[in-house]
Structure 1
Amino acid sequence: MKTLILTTAALALSAGFALADTVRMGTEGAYPPYNFINDKGEVDGYERELGDELCKRAGLTCEWVTNDWDSIIPNLVSGNYDTIIAGMSITEERDQVIDFTQNYIPPADSAYAALTADADLKGVIAAQTGTIQADYVAESGATLAEFATLDDTLAAVKSGEADAVFADLDALAASVNESGGALVWAGEPVSLGGGVGMGLRESDKELRAKFDAVITEMKADGTINTLITKWFGPEAKTY
């Protein structure tokens, strides 16, 4: 679950979406299992499957666009795509610049992963730049080491550059579970954020309403819970 420091104000909030048939869905492509690039070079993951179903039910065509995390909001505002669907936590700070649908992932836990369970969580902690986890580490008394991607944070722990990584638990789980014991959980999980939602320009009220209606429908019929369990496992929080 991520948040972003808003370095660019509302560049072009008037660049609204006119509800054309094609919606450009902006994502990072580097935050599995939310979103990632598969072996075919295509956007994949929970948000790809969810986004395609949202567009199908709304009578729209999805066109997927990838963008680096640190500029994902400015490029939405300037009109390079129409939505952000990229593991983005809903925050008051961001809500001042862009708009949100309701969440499609409920508020979940963040966690530490390290080489040993007794890692120094007041030492050097790696976190992805511009995330709610980075903000938390900065206020925790630990030394924050920021990196561009989740993979970079994990590499820093494995190389000894950082004592632990702090990130969304669901995003870390696959790396911990598949590490063969090289990575383990450290400390206790921490509840952060207000859930993950789709970001849109504030001018695109009609598009937001369309997606909100479909998210409500998919929660009611159990589709979103099925997708969450598929991509995050049976222990993940559902609706």
Structure 2
Amino acid sequence: MKKLILTTAALALTSGMALAESHGMTVRMGTEGAYPPYNFINDDGEIDGFERELGDELCSRAELTCEWVTNEWDSIIPNLVSGNYDTIIAGMSITDERDEVIDFTQNYYPPASSAYAALDGDVDVKAGVIAAQTATIQAGYVAETGATLLEFATPDESVAAVKNGEADAVFADKDYLAPIVAESELVWAGTDVSLGGGIGIGLRESDTELKAKFDAAITSMKEDGTLNAMLIKWFGEDIVTY
């Protein structure tokens, strides 16, 4: 499968080059719209969340005209490669495996914890049935622990699997699970795990100019404190900052 994806990436290089050489084109920002508080659809039907606010600010600083589109998580990388949009800004952790297929900016969200949530805090997360969203670093980690992995297309479905007894626990970004644990019958289980190299913007490997523009904008937000303020706004005072 990886060879197939890499071949697709090679075939799509020309579309990326066209974008990278242009200055007036609209940059299409691809997100999932189903992973609050990173990204979600608000009551007005608009893409909202930390990454919407961040992406709009980055586009402003980079002097880019941007528009937002949504795409299901399990096909979000192939559809970037094939040219359906120009970036992925969707809570995607930077990993070596993904970096073989696409490129990333520097991270705009520091390496953070993934966590287990369950109905029973004493559940054996290494031997039980663990739910995770498909094609995530959390699903990959569960598969290596010896636990039984149940994969779901959306994060909401992975949480529902625990609530309805289909899974013993869910494993996901702790910042995603925190409000769910606070507002439901779920409790923390096991120990937190640090995975990935933080979250960055995914781009086609040919889009070097676009990557440079976003990297410069992210750097400027880190240097002037704007990014830290945005992280605290969306994730609370306890969030790791730059």
Q: TM-score, normalised by structure 2?
A: 0.93
Consecutive unaligned residues in structure 1, runs of 5 or more: none
For the 8 Å contact 2:92–2:201, the answer to whether it is kept is yes
CA distance in 2: counterparts of 1:129 and 1:48, whole angstroms: 23
Which amino acid in the other structure matches residue 186 of structure 1? A
CA distance in 2: counterparts of 1:31 and 1:191, whole angstroms: 19
CA distance in 2: counterparts of 1:88 and 1:183, whole angstroms: 25
SS at match of 1:197: strand
The equivalent position to 2:31 in structure 1, one of 16, 27, 30, is: 27
SS at match of 2:5: coil
More helix by share: 2
CA distance in 1: counterparts of 2:35 and 2:205, whole angstroms: 25
Aligned to 2:131: 126
Aligned to 2:61: 57
Aligned to 1:136: 141
| Shift of residue 58, structure 1, vs aligned partner | 1.0
CA distance in 2: counterparts of 1:110 and 1:56, whole angstroms: 31
Aligned to 1:171: 176
| Shift of residue 120, structure 1, vs aligned partner | 2.5
CA distance in 1: counterparts of 2:13 and 2:240, whole angstroms: 34
Consecutive unaligned residues in structure 2, runs of 5 or more: none
CA distance in 2: counterparts of 1:42 and 1:89, whole angstroms: 24
> 1:206-221 maps to which residues of 2 (within 5 A)?
206-221=209-224
Which aligned runs of 4 or more in structure 1 are off by greater than 6 angstroms?
none
Which amino acid in the other structure matches residue 203 of structure 2? L
Q: TM-score, normalised by structure 1?
A: 0.95
The equivalent position to 1:75 in structure 2, one of 68, 79, 83, is: 79
- The reply on whether 1:12 has 2:12 as its aligned counterpart is yes
For the 8 Å contact 1:170–1:232, the answer to whether it is kept is yes
Which amino acid in the other structure matches residue 233 of structure 1? G
The equivalent position to 1:224 in structure 2, one of 207, 224, 227, is: 227
RMSD of equivalent CA atoms:
1.2
Pairs aligned (count)? 233
